[in-house]
Structure 1
Amino acid sequence: MPQPLIPFGKQFREKYFTNIEKDVYPVNHGSYGVTPTPVHEKYIELITQNAGYTDKFMKYTTRDIYINSLKEVGKVVNSDYHNLAFVDNATSGVNTVLRSYPLAKGDKIVVQSTVYGACGNTVKFLENRYGVEAVVVDLEYPITNEEIVAKFDEVLKKESPKFCMFDTISSMPGVVFPFEELVKLCKKYNVLSLVDGAHGIGNIPLDLTELKPDFFVSNLHKWFYVPFGCAFLYVDPKHHNNIHTLPVSHSYLDDKTELSPEDQQNRLVDRFWFTGTKNYAAIQVIPEAIDFRNKVCGGEQTIYDYCHKLARDVGDLVSKKWGTSYLDQTSTMVTVEVPTAKFPEIVANWSKLDNEVYHQMFAKKAYTPCIVHNGKLYARFSCQIYNEIDDFDNASDVLLQVLEEVATNKSKL
């Protein structure tokens, strides 16, 4: 198997992730991502270059940039680039689909109880505005993938929804979701599948030709090393007429507008490549990120193997140290139960205390996102090629120190 140019970990961080402050414990890659220094420098170079003659750049260059980067992403996820579009982030992609697809009052959308908050609010908006009904599949971890699929099977069979939205990897808890089985389940019950792959490309292998979802969205700025905000949206060709840009802009066409075969093939590209003035440099630098992953890091499998093994090692280390356990569905993130026997008030009052906890974590340069789920407090650790095990050893110590400090300050309860 190809190897990185220099070993992953601190040595790799010092060479290729120089923008991270020296004394930070970077254990939360999953929230926003971090761009490698060579890719970041190319990004800044392109911003400057594109400003040299803005009129010419915007009028005659952006479409070629857009299509070139679509083609490169298409190779990674095995999709015809005509079925892809760039959006700002996964939440924007979810909104693009749900707020442009022709839904009617009484149509049902199935989501899981661990749905990402912003995407859950999009469904609430549709409920309030249009009378769409949300159907929630209640999930309490620890739970097996087989049990998750069985719960969805029961709901899809009973409710006959229009849409089912689910994750590739859930945000909090940060666990791999059985998305491949659920796409098949949606086909079985003639339900439209909308896959929130915010944690997708660059994290787990994706083959959209094999998967065949109706809709799929994934952030390029989280795990794929592209500057934020940049994500891609996949739309099955049979839905191209129904999906419109967010915002609706110059390229708008009514769903019923008929085009020539060539124009219909390019319908998604022609609608999405320009929706208004924006910074194209994040899209433009995608080939640079791909080159970095392949030539410097040794390729997708080499990156994944290191990060996945580290996540397992972190789960073993921290759970043993804490005397707890971690959730089985581990990718490059691992979710570990936090011991709270000494300060149960933390769990009971988490919604009031979380900002204070995070404030103190940031002061100690070791931020770890946490969530109360199923009556327990969980910490999510993200593992990346610039990490080593002691990053998480230290960050987990900081977390317990902060929790104890906040719990002893009774005035905040």
Structure 2
Amino acid sequence: MSAPLRSHWSLDPQVVFLNHGSFGACPTAVLQHQSELRARLESEPVRFLAREAEPLLDEARSVLGAFVGADADDLAFMPNATTGVNTVLRGLRLQPGDELLVTDNEYNASRNALDVACAAMGAKVVVATLPWPVPSADAVVDAVMAQVTPRTRLLLIDHITSQTALVMPLAELVRRVREKGVETLVDGAHGPGMVPLALRELGAAYYAGNCHKWLCAPKGAAFLYVRRDLQAGLKPLVVSHGHNSPRTDRSRFRLDFDWMGTGDPSPYLCIPTVIRFIGGLVPGGWPEVMASNREKALAARRRLDARLGNASPLCPESMVGSMACVALPDSSAERPAPPLYLDPLHVRLFEEHHIELPVTAWPKAPRRHLRISAQLYNTPADYEVLGDALEALLR
């Protein structure tokens, strides 16, 4: 991809931005559309929220459903994937001795939600330790399945891990645990826009996905997919008017989740716009966006591994999406408590070289790696700048 594509984003031109994975970045044209929606809302709030919002949200959900391979009525908008994960976990009915399975790669916020839910109901958290470096997707499946017992009720699994940027063998895991009577809650924060989704075919019970990351929607746009047979037993975190609504033209799931109090619906309403906009930036549409970002990440990983003298990559190419991890020399710095810890190398890359990307201690200090992201606005030159900086700082 050529550098001019960066002109569609308002990113600081003085920063080499290689951290799209943390919070995404929204194109200026989409932000302009959001501003217009907000102005429309404020010009007559009652008209917009009471009369116009519902069909607009239905349309947005329909477009999103087509993009992620799900029926629109199986989706509920959320402000972020963490809210979706919390919604499901707080809605579980567990018994003392029940087990909820998670990997040691799970995102910290979602793991916290799991711990709180299990503690409240007397259930047990079981952790599957994944190998690192990862030799194969089969090794991940084996590590997870080894921890499934007759008491396992749910698997919480990242689709793409945050700390290690692994594209998990999700379809195989969902299939294997479901054969044993275990449902799956997918933390899909990085999924939409990074990898093709077919949620209807996947068969997972729940999938919480962000739209503000790789889909590039405004902040506050996410969704929760709930398989149809499980919707009746789930309530939103905020119970509002829908709980006793007499309407019969919509499912109770829709009535409960479509209105959880007054809020700004503009991030959700921008989803159709951003899907069209990003897909229109390259001739091959979204399949080309995803494929080119992945190839960019793989090429950058190969080049950085070579420059740093790494003998082998941290995971197979089949487990790489639009992010990739590269091993770094061990850190000699003390490691304060997460999640606010910043590795000194992270700080120096930004302060001295104006490069933004995370450096992560994994699986624990002193081991560490960096995580690069690849989006349409990134170019091969960005990763060469990073390589130069690393060689200077690590001497």
d(CA) in 2 for partners of 1:349, 1:198 = 26
d(CA) in 2 for partners of 1:389, 1:350 = 34
How many angstroms does 1:362 deviate by? 3.3
Instruction: Note the residue ranges of structure 2 that are not aligned, 5 or more in a row.
Output: none
Give the one of 394, 404, 412 matched to 2:385.
394
Q: Which residue of 2 aligns with 1:345?
A: 332
Give the 3 Å change call, closer, same or farther, for CA 399–243 of structure 1 in structure 2: farther
How many angstroms does 1:49 deviate by? 1.7
Please give the per-residue CA displacement for 1:252-274, whole angstroms capped at 9, x wherever unaligned. 36xxx9996x54xx222211111
d(CA) in 2 for partners of 1:374, 1:292 = 38
Secondary structure of 2:152's aligned partner: coil
User: What letter is aligned with 1:175?
Assistant: L
Q: Which residue of 2 aligns with 1:46?
A: 37
After TM superposition, the score normalised by the length of structure 1 is 0.88
d(CA) in 1 for partners of 2:261, 2:47 = 15
Q: 5 Å matches for 1:19-30?
A: 19-30=10-21
Q: Which residue of 2 aligns with 1:304?
A: 290
Give the one of 362, 373, 388 matched to 2:350.
362
User: What letter is aligned with 2:193?
Assistant: G
> 125-134 or 68-77: which moved more?
125-134
Asked if the contact 1:65/1:283 (under 8 Å) is kept, the reply is no
Please give the per-residue CA displacement for 1:135-173, whole angstroms capped at 9, x wherever unaligned. 0001131122101111222211x3531110111111111
Asked if the contact 1:160/1:191 (under 8 Å) is kept, the reply is no
Give the one of 318, 323, 344 matched to 1:333.
323
User: What letter is aligned with 2:279?
Assistant: N
Please give the per-residue CA displacement for 1:221-277, whole angstroms capped at 9, x wherever unaligned. 000010011111110111111111122222236xxx9996x54xx222211111011
d(CA) in 2 for partners of 1:92, 1:277 = 17
- For the pair 1:96 / 2:82, whether they are aligned, the reply is no
User: What letter is aligned with 2:265?
Assistant: Y
d(CA) in 2 for partners of 1:396, 1:247 = 47
User: What letter is aligned with 1:380?
Assistant: R
d(CA) in 1 for partners of 2:194, 2:394 = 30
Q: Which residue of 2 aligns with 1:145?
A: 137
d(CA) in 2 for partners of 1:302, 1:40 = 23
Asked if the contact 1:350/1:372 (under 8 Å) is kept, the reply is no
Q: Which residue of 1 aligns with 2:28?
A: 37
Q: Which residue of 1 aligns with 2:3?
A: 10
How many angstroms does 1:78 deviate by? 1.6
Please give the per-residue CA displacement for 1:27-55, whole angstroms capped at 9, x wherever unaligned. 00011111112111111121112111012
Asked if the contact 1:69/1:287 (under 8 Å) is kept, the reply is yes
Please give the per-residue CA displacement for 1:3-36, whole angstroms capped at 9, x wherever unaligned. xxxxx3311112x11x101111010001111111
User: What letter is aligned with 2:4?
Assistant: Q
User: What letter is aligned with 2:35?
Assistant: I
Secondary structure of 1:47's aligned partner: helix
Asked if the contact 1:140/1:373 (under 8 Å) is kept, the reply is no
Percent identity over paired residues: 28
How many angstroms does 1:124 deviate by? 1.2
d(CA) in 2 for partners of 1:403, 1:117 = 29
Give the 3 Å change call, closer, same or farther, for CA 81–367 of structure 1 in structure 2: same
> 290-299 or 71-80: which moved more?
290-299
Question: CA-atom RMSD, angstroms?
Answer: 2.1
Give the 3 Å change call, closer, same or farther, for CA 217–42 of structure 1 in structure 2: same
Give the 3 Å change call, closer, same or farther, for CA 401–278 of structure 1 in structure 2: farther
User: What letter is aligned with 2:275?
Assistant: I
User: What letter is aligned with 1:122?
Assistant: A
Q: 5 Å matches for 1:131-142?
A: 131-142=122-133
Give the 3 Å change call, closer, same or farther, for CA 403–367 of structure 1 in structure 2: farther
d(CA) in 1 for partners of 2:390, 2:206 = 38
Secondary structure of 1:279's aligned partner: coil
Asked if the contact 1:113/1:136 (under 8 Å) is kept, the reply is yes
After TM superposition, the score normalised by the length of structure 2 is 0.91
Give the one of 253, 268, 274 matched to 1:268.
253
Give the number of equivalent residue pairs. 384
Give the one of 372, 376, 394 matched to 2:361.
372
Q: 5 Å matches for 1:74-223?
A: 74-143=65-134, 144-156=136-148, 158-223=149-214
Q: Which residue of 2 aligns with 1:282?
A: 267
Secondary structure of 1:86's aligned partner: strand
Give the 3 Å change call, closer, same or farther, for CA 146–71 of structure 1 in structure 2: same
d(CA) in 1 for partners of 2:195, 2:72 = 20
Asked if the contact 1:202/1:223 (under 8 Å) is kept, the reply is yes
d(CA) in 2 for partners of 1:141, 1:132 = 28
d(CA) in 1 for partners of 2:26, 2:280 = 16
d(CA) in 2 for partners of 1:390, 1:200 = 26
Asked if the contact 1:35/1:226 (under 8 Å) is kept, the reply is yes
Secondary structure of 1:202's aligned partner: coil
Instruction: Note the residue ranges of structure 1 that are not aligned, 5 or more in a row.
Output: 1-7, 405-413
d(CA) in 2 for partners of 1:247, 1:355 = 37
